[in-house]
Amino acid sequence: MNIYNDYLKEIEERKAQGLHPKPIDTAELLSVIIEQIKDVDNVYREDSLKFFIYNTLPGTTSAAGEKAKFLKEIILGESIVKEITPVFAFELLSHMKGGPSIKVLLDLALGNDVAIAKEAAKVLKTQVYLYEADTNRLVEAYKNGNEIVKDILESYVQGEFFTKLPEVADEIKVVTFIAGEGDISTDLLSPGNQAHSRSDRELHGKCMITPEAQAEIKALQAQHPDKSVMLIAEKGTMGVGSSRMSGVNNVALWTGKKASPYIPFVNIAPIVGGTNGISPIFLTTVDVTGGIGLDLKNWVKKLDENGNPIRNEAGEPILEEAYSVATGTVLTINIKEKKLYKGDQELIDISKAFTPQKMEFIKAGGSYAIVFGKKLQTFAAKTLGVTAPTVYAPSKEISHEGQGLTAVEKIFNKNAVGNTPGKVLHAGSDVRVQVNIVGSQDTTGLMTAQELESMAATVISPIVDGAYQSGCHTASVWDKKAQANIPKLMKFMNDFGLITARDPKGVYHSMTDVIHKVLNDITIDEWAIIIGGDSHTRMSKGVAFGADSGTVALALATGEASMPIPESVKVTFKGDMKGYMDFRDVVHATQAQMLQKFGGENVFQGRIIEVHLGTLTADQAFTFTDWTAEMKAKASICISEDDTLIESLEIAKGRIQIMIDKGMDNANQVLQGLIDKADKRIAEIISGTKPALTPDANAKYYAEVVVDLDQIAEPMIADPDVNNADVSKRYTHDTIRPLSFYGGVKKVDLGFIGSCMVHKGDMKILAQMLKNIEEQQGKVEFKAPLVVAPPTYNIVDELKAEGDWEVLQKYSGFEFNDNAPKGVARTEYENMLYLERPGCNLCMGNQEKAAKGDTVMATSTRLFQGRVVEDAEGKKGESLLSSTPVVVLSTILGRTPSIEEYIAAVKGINLTKFAPSHKLLVK
C-alpha cells in the first residue's frame, strides 16, 4: 500500500499546481492498483479502475506489461471485472500500441479458444508496431498451417491497418492565434530552461508561450468549439532553431485532439502556420503527430511598376500584407482543393502541405504508423510469397537524364532502400534511407525513451553503425532535477544499445561532451547519414539531420529515415583571408554575402548547404557546418580534399580509441567497429579506389554562392538587433555587423567561449591571447567575466598534454571539479575567468544564465530572446555572437574593441585560418 499512498500524496501535490495525476509507467504501482480492482470491497477500487483504464502509459513500459497481462486474464475469464468486459479488454489492448500488448494478442490468437482467437485477430489486424519477436511467431504459426494467422497476414498484405482508417475530411475550419511576430523559435513553445519537465507532458505544456497566451487559446476554443486553433508566426518562420518534439507536443496539447481516450496527455493533429512557412526540422515533428504546417505567404514584397522590389533606407524589401491572419480570424483549409479560404475568398494554394505522403500521415495520425505499416506489409507479402498491392502513395522518383548528382544526391542514392532498382534519383525524390550514426541528447532523451517505449522497441537496429547518448545539455549544474532524470535515461539507453556519456554501472568517468562534437568524431565515413536529437547535428563528414526525439527513436529502432532528397546550394570561396581574421568571421560573412546577393532572400532555408572547404579538418570545418542551423538550412555537407579527409579520420580514430580506453565500448564493440570502418575508408582513399566524396561537375543546384574572402576586412558579429523597430527583424541571426559598427564603446557584461561552435584551436587561441596580454600589460585583468566551456574531455586532455590547459588554469578564478560538480546554477559572476565543465553551458539556457539585461559576447550559436540572457526591466538582454578573439578582448576591456585594438591584440596569434582549395572539388 505504501507505493499507492505515495502516489495519492503526489496527486495532491500536483493538484496544488493545477495538474492531473501523473501517468503511471511502473509495474510496481500498477500491480497494487490491479489488486485493488480485484478486491471489490477496496475503498480505492473506483479510483484504481480509472487509473488502470485511463492513466497507464502504453508501449513497453513495465506498467503496460502488467496491464496487458491483467487484460488477458479478463479475456480468458481468469479474472472477472464487471466494469471491464472481455470486449472492452480487447479495445484497451488495441490502444496499447505494441510490446506486451502484441504478445498478449498473439497468445490469444494462437490459443485453443477459436472465438477468442478470432477476436484477437481482429485487433491484430489494426496494429503496426510489430517487431522480429512478434513476426517470427506469425511465420512459425503460418508454416504450421494456422488459418487465423494466414488471415492476419493477408490483411497485412492488403494494408487494412491503413485502408480501413477514416478518410481525411475535405475541409477544416480554423481560427488563428498569432503566437509571435517574426521567427518563432521552439524556445517559445518549449523553453530550454524547462527542459527538465519535458517527459511530464502536462507539466511541460504549461510553459508554452505564456499563461496569458494559454488563456487566450482556451477562450478562442470556447468561442469557436467547431474549429481548430492554428498557431501562427506572423512575418516569420514557425519553429526555427531546434528539433524539439516537445514544442509540437505542447502545441498539440493546447490546440490538437486526443490520440486515444485511454492514453493521457498525448495529443495529435496540431495546425501551425508561418508567413515564411515552417522550419524543416519542426515540420518533421508536425508530420510525426499527423499535423498540418502551412506556408501562409501573407506578407509579400512590395513591387514597383517594373516588378522590382521596393526597398527601404536600409536596402531591405518593403513588405505589404496580402491578407490578414490576425488573432481570431476564421479560415477554411480546403484539403480537397488544397486551397486556403477566408469565407468564399481564395487566399493561397497550399498544395505543398498536402502531398500524397503528408495526406497519409494525417490519415494515420502520424508518420510512424506509415513507416511501420509499410514494413509490416512487406514482411507479410514475403511470408505469403505474394506481391503486395499498391496501398500507399508511390514514392516520388525524380530522375533527370544527363544531369549529374550533388553530394547529397549521391549519399541518398547510395543509402536508399525500397526505390526502383538502378534508378538514379535527384532532388525532390521521396526516399527511405539507411542511417549510419544516431545521437540522442539529454534534455530530449527522456522523450526519445518514451517514444521508443510507445513504439514497443527494445533494442537498437542492427544496421546502425553507432549511436550515442549525451549528457551535455545538463552538464553545467548537477542539480536534483538532473540527478533524478539523467541516471534513469543513461540506464535505459545503455540497455537499448547506445554508447552512453554516463555509465549506469559507474565503471568509467562520466563525460558531458557536447553531442555534436562526439557525433562528429564517431562519424567515420563522409558517405554517412546521421540523425541527431538536436538542430546542430551538422557534421563536417557525411550529411547530418537534426531531428525531433521521435525521429531519433525511429532511427534507433529501425535504422531508417524517410524524407525527400533536399535541394542544394553550393558555397565556394575566392580571395585570401586577412592575417588578423578568424574562420568564424568567414562563417558569418557567408551568411551576410548570401543575403546581400539575393536581395534579402535566404536561399539556404530548407536546403542543403554544400560547402567546399576542402583544406579544413573536420574539427575546424565543423564551425561552418554547425552554423548552418542558424542559416536555417536543412543540413550541410563539407566537401574535403583526400589528404584533409584522411587527417580528419585519423583524428576521429584517436578520439574513439580514447573512448574505448575509458571503458565506454559495449558488448557489441561498436566503437572498435567504427575504428575498423575508418581504417577501411582511409585505405580506399589512399588506394584511389574510392576518393573523397565530391559532386559531379554537371550537378544542378538551386543556387550558388561564391564567398569573397577579400571583402572580409574586420570581425563579423551576429547581432540580435533587440531594438529594431520591426519586431520581426529581431533575434533572426540574419543581422551580421562588422566590429566597427559598435565604435569600440558598446559595454560587454559577460563573455562566453564554448558550446559546439569552438574547437581545440579556439582554446589554444584563448591561451595565446592571455599570455600576450600579460606580456604587453604586465598582468591579465578582466573587466567582465569570461566563462569558458570546452566542447569535450578529449580536447581538455589534449590541451593538458600540450601545455595550454596549464596556461588557462593560471589565469582562472574557478575550475570545474567532476568530483564535486555544481549543485545549483551560478547567479552572480565576478570579473574573472571561469573554467567550466565540458558541455553546452550558457548556450543551452536551461541551467547557467547571464544576469538579466546583460550584454553577452559569445562564441555560442543562439541569440534567441531569453536563451543565454533574459530581459531586465527597462533593458533587453543581448547575446552577440562572434569569434573567440573578439570575446576574449571584449572581456578584458569590458566593451567591444575597436578594430585597431583587435588587430594589435591578435598579432602573432595562430588564428583559425582557411584558404580555398586549389583543386576542383568535383568529379
Confidence grade of residue 921 (pLDDT, cut at 50, 70, 90): low
Residues 6+ apart with CB under 8 A from 689: none
3-state secondary structure (DSSP) of residue 258: strand
* Planar angle of CA 679, 685, 688, nearest 5 degrees: 135
Q: What is the pLDDT of residue 245?
A: 86
Above 70 in pLDDT, residue 897?
A: yes
Residue 1 confidence class, pLDDT cut points 50, 70, 90: low
pLDDT, residue 536, reads 83
Lowest-confidence region among 68-77, 175-184, 239-248, 583-592: 239-248
Helix or strand holding residue 63 (H, E): helix 62-75
pLDDT of residue 242: 66
**More confident position, 846 or 94:** 94
Cβ-contact 152, 138 below 8 angstroms: yes
Alpha helices in 159-229 (DSSP H): 160-163, 186-189, 201-205, 211-223
Measured distance CA(347)–CA(280) in Å, rounded: 23
Task: Give the per-residue pLDDT at 25.
Answer: 93
Maximal CA-CA distance, the chain: 91
Query: DSSP assignment of 734-801, as one string?
Result: --EEEGGGGTTT-B--EEEEEGGG--HHHHHHHHHHHHHHHHHHSS---SS-EEEE-S-HHHHHHHHH
Task: Select, from the ranges 51-55, 442-446, 483-487, the one with the highest average predicted confidence (pLDDT).
Answer: 51-55
How far apart, in Å, are the Cα atoms of 271 and each of 173, 252, 255, 261, 635?
11, 8, 8, 21, 25
CB neighbours of 406 closer than 8 A, spacing ≥ 6? 427, 568, 570, 608, 610, 695, 696, 699, 700, 701
Q: Three-class SS of residue 732?
A: coil
What does the block give as the cell for 584?
A: 568564424
Rounded Cα–Cα distance for residues 320 and 918 (Å)? 46
pLDDT in tens, 535-544: 788 889 999 9
Q: How confident is the model at residue 446 (pLDDT cuts 50, 70, 90)?
A: confident
CA–CA distances in Å: residue 252 to residues 118, 219, 285, 672, 804: 36, 16, 11, 42, 49
pLDDT at 366: 94
pLDDT level of residue 305 (50, 70, 90 thresholds): confident
> Percentage of the chain surpassing pLDDT 70?
99
The radius of gyration computed from the CA coordinates of the chain, to the nearest angstrom, equals 28
Specify the pLDDT at position 461: 93
Nearest to 446 by CA among 407, 405, 406, 487: 487
Distance CA 699, CA 16 (A): 61
Of the pLDDT bands very low, low, confident and very high (cuts 50, 70, 90), residue 922 is low
Across 31-35, 475-479, 806-810, 858-862, least confident range:
475-479
Residue 635 and residue 669 in contact, taking contact as beta carbons nearer than 8 Å? no
Q: Where do we find the cell 501562427?
A: 232
Residue 669, Cβ neighbours under 10 Å: how many?
Answer: 12
Rounded to an integer, what distance in angstroms lies between the CA atom of residue 543 and that of residue 695? 13
* C-alpha to C-alpha distance for 598 and 795, rounded to whole angstroms: 39
> Band of the pLDDT at 199, cuts 50, 70, 90?
confident
In angstroms, the CA 923 to CA 426 distance is 17
Q: What is the distance between the alpha carbons of residues 398 and 411, in angstroms, rounded to a whole number?
A: 16
pLDDT class for 338, splitting at 50, 70, 90? Answer: very high
Of 514-518, 522-526, 745-749, the least confident? 514-518
Strand, coil or helix: 244: coil
**920: pLDDT confidence band, cut at 50, 70 and 90?**
low
First to last CA, the chain: 71
Question: Which residues have a Cβ under 8 Å from the Cβ of 147 and sit 6 or more positions away?
Answer: none
Residue 565's closest CA among 451, 697, 403, 689? Answer: 403
This prediction has a pTM of: 0.85
Q: Could you tell me the sign of the dihedral formed by the alpha carbons of 568, 569, 575, 579, in that order?
A: negative
Exposure string (b/e) for 424-440, b if CB count within 10 Å is 16 or more? bbbbebbbbbbbbbbbb
pLDDT in tens, 617-647: 998 999 999 998 888 899 999 999 999 999 9
Structure-block grid coordinates of residue 440:
540522442
The 3-state secondary structure of 288-316 reads HCCCEEEECCCEEECECCCCCECECCCCC
Task: Give the distance, in angstroms, between the CA of residue 124 and the centroid of all CA atoms in the same chain.
Answer: 32
Enumerate residues 6+ apart whose C-beta is below 8 A from 309.
Answer: 301, 302, 303, 317, 318, 599
Over residues 357-376, the pLDDT tens digits come to 999 999 999 999 998 999 99
More confident residue, 233 or 547: 233
Residue 201 near residue 245 (C-beta atoms within 8 A): no
- Asked whether the predicted pLDDT for residue 727 surpasses 90, the reply is no
Grid coordinates 577579400 are at which residue? 710
